[in-house]
Structure 1
Amino acid sequence: MMDLILELDPLLQVIIATLFTWGMTALGAALVFTTKTFNQKFLDSMLGFAGGVMIAASFWSLLAPALEMAEGGSLPAWLPVAVGFLLGGEFIYLIDKLLPHLHPNAPLNSAEGIRPKKRKRSTLLVLAITLHNIPEGLAIGVSFGAVALGSPSASLAGALALAIGIGIQNIPEGAAVSMPLLRDGLSKKRSFLFGQFSGMVEPISAIIGFLAVAYIEPLLPLALAFAAGAMIFVVAEEVIPSSQEEGNKDLAVMSLMIGFTLMMILDVALG
């Protein structure tokens, strides 16, 4: 199976990987078809799980390889990684201030971005999940770009582990859109369609990340750290707070621990 994947064009590998993660978002959104009632504890536990996966992926799949790649350069290894990490967080911060969106579990009057009151709740929820699918797509694209360049610190197994981990945590992300919409009175079909739509940005941002680094090797440590910083910002600013707003803090934290552990095992075992 791995030999078959190796024979594919690197850009095609990225597209297939992110179509998988998009499909997992759709799978999560499809959970609305399995229940007639909205379960807040279930949603909060899934958000916590997603946060744990994203934190683990940020270190094991992005920051650690970035530091290894930066060693032996003209600059201290920590410098490009630190700069990239902070730039990634700043990038998502700026998008967060501009893009109208509404965090899961949040009331409509707490929507953020430019003119959010002119948007429907369904649109704002989709845009919120779309916002933190951007760094996930970038992370996958940059990881496969590192493999395409033949970096000794990168491996196809590691890039696949990252895609699998992000795909798994996309299940709760899809549900984080579709379930609140079902609670708000939308039909199951429309809730599903809105939920899966939020994953569409991952293939796009992954291709951008791949093309940015696939032929410019010096950018790799910076780009990997950039994706990590973007993901950590999303986790700290949105995912963790959203998982705890309804009072299920212990459940959300334990789910985060499980998500972190699973992603760590995936990366170490496969990478």
Structure 2
Amino acid sequence: MNAELMGVVIASMCTILGALPVLLIKTLSHKGRDILLAYTAGVMVAASTYGLIPSALKLSSVPVLITGILVGTLVLMILEIILPHQNLEHDGTRVSRSSIILFITAMSLHNVPEGLSVGISFASGIDDLGSIVAFVIGLQNMPEGFLVALFLILQQVRRVKVMLFVTITALVELVAALIGIWFGQFFHSAIPYGLAFSAGAMLFIVYKELIPESHGDGNERVATVSFILGFVSMILLTDSLR
């Protein structure tokens, strides 16, 4: 159990680790912001298409994968209806509070199946499955933490609150992972759904929020290059650590 707890804690806390570099940012130009947002988008797309989706397919089938992705997308669409929000204004003004709430809620919500996947993988008793899933989830949690912190910093949220929000998203995943360990025998079949759900949620955020924002100030070309570099770097990192 000690190894299991250590695995879920490390995977969850990677979110906080990924947020730390953002706290060093004092000022950020529109171009710099677009480059970072696009790079993060590329990392998240690679984590979904190169990590989560193949893992879900190995454990299930295409119908399960499609179901999980569609459910993840649908949940975030419903959140947008419940918490209507405006997009980032490119003249430097801040977004509404509901927009920030939606973003934090979405990131926290999609951490639930990720946490369950880690916990259930440890509870499954399959050799090294828990460690592998924890590593993959922890690896993608770092750019997620970076993304959450970057979004909040750009909205001029105080750094103390930024770390509080990032910690909340990490704790949501940790609690979900512990639940997955305790009730793994009931949720074992949910692992591929959870992975696919996470992929769908991440892809929704990338296409709905990050890509439009990174193209809003006339920096489409450099943002596109940054997106591709983020995508490729995540693939190289994941492959080198397998």
* Fold agreement, TM-score > 0.5: yes
Q: Match of 2:153, as an amino acid? A: S
Name the residue aligned to 1:14.
8
User: Among residues 135, 140, 159, which one is paired with 1:165 in the alignment?
Assistant: 140
Query: What does 1:200-215 align with in structure 2 at a 5 Å threshold?
Result: 200-208=168-176, 211-212=179-180, 214-215=184-185
* In structure 1, distance between residues paired with 2:6 and 2:98: 31
Shift of 1:17: 2.2
* In structure 1, distance between residues paired with 2:194 and 2:147: 26
User: Among residues 56, 64, 72, which one is paired with 2:54 in the alignment?
Assistant: 64
Q: Match of 2:226, as an amino acid? A: S
Name the residue aligned to 1:217.
188
**Contact 2:114/2:195, CA 8 A, preserved across alignment:** no
What's the TM-score once normalised by structure 2's chain length?
Answer: 0.82
Specify whether residues 179 and 230 from structure 1 end up closer, same or farther in structure 2 by C-alpha distance, changes over 3 A only.
closer
**In the alignment, is residue 39 of structure 1 matched against residue 29 of structure 2?**
yes
Tell me, what secondary structure is at the counterpart of 2:218? coil
User: Among residues 194, 197, 201, which one is paired with 2:161 in the alignment?
Assistant: 194
Tell me, what secondary structure is at the counterpart of 1:43? helix
Shift of 1:230: 1.1
**Structure 1 regions of 5+ residues with no counterpart?**
1-6, 71-76, 112-120, 182-189
**Structure 2 regions of 5+ residues with no counterpart?**
none
Name the residue aligned to 1:176.
151
* In structure 2, distance between residues paired with 1:138 and 1:259: 25
RMSD of aligned C-alpha atoms?
3.0
Deviation larger for 60-69 or 171-180: 171-180
User: Among residues 57, 71, 87, which one is paired with 1:87 in the alignment?
Assistant: 71
**In the alignment, is residue 24 of structure 1 matched against residue 14 of structure 2?**
no
Shift of 1:102: 4.8
Tell me, what secondary structure is at the counterpart of 2:2? coil
1:51-87 CA-partner distances (Å, limit 9, x unpaired) = 11111111222110111111xxxxxx21111111101
* In structure 2, distance between residues paired with 1:140 and 1:88: 12
* In structure 1, distance between residues paired with 2:98 and 2:34: 19
Name the residue aligned to 1:48.
38
Deviation larger for 196-205 or 227-236: 196-205
**In the alignment, is residue 145 of structure 1 matched against residue 119 of structure 2?**
yes
- Matched-pair identity in %: 22
Specify whether residues 251 and 228 from structure 1 end up closer, same or farther in structure 2 by C-alpha distance, changes over 3 A only.
same
Return the index of the structure with the highest Cα Rg: 1
1:25-61 CA-partner distances (Å, limit 9, x unpaired) = 2431x134xx3x4311111111111111111111222
Specify whether residues 136 and 90 from structure 1 end up closer, same or farther in structure 2 by C-alpha distance, changes over 3 A only.
closer
Q: Match of 1:240, as an amino acid? A: I
**Contact 1:53/1:260, CA 8 A, preserved across alignment:** yes
What's the TM-score once normalised by structure 1's chain length?
Answer: 0.74
Aligned length: 237
**Contact 2:19/2:148, CA 8 A, preserved across alignment:** yes
Q: Match of 2:229, as an amino acid? A: I
* In structure 2, distance between residues paired with 1:45 and 1:108: 16
* In structure 2, distance between residues paired with 1:56 and 1:152: 26
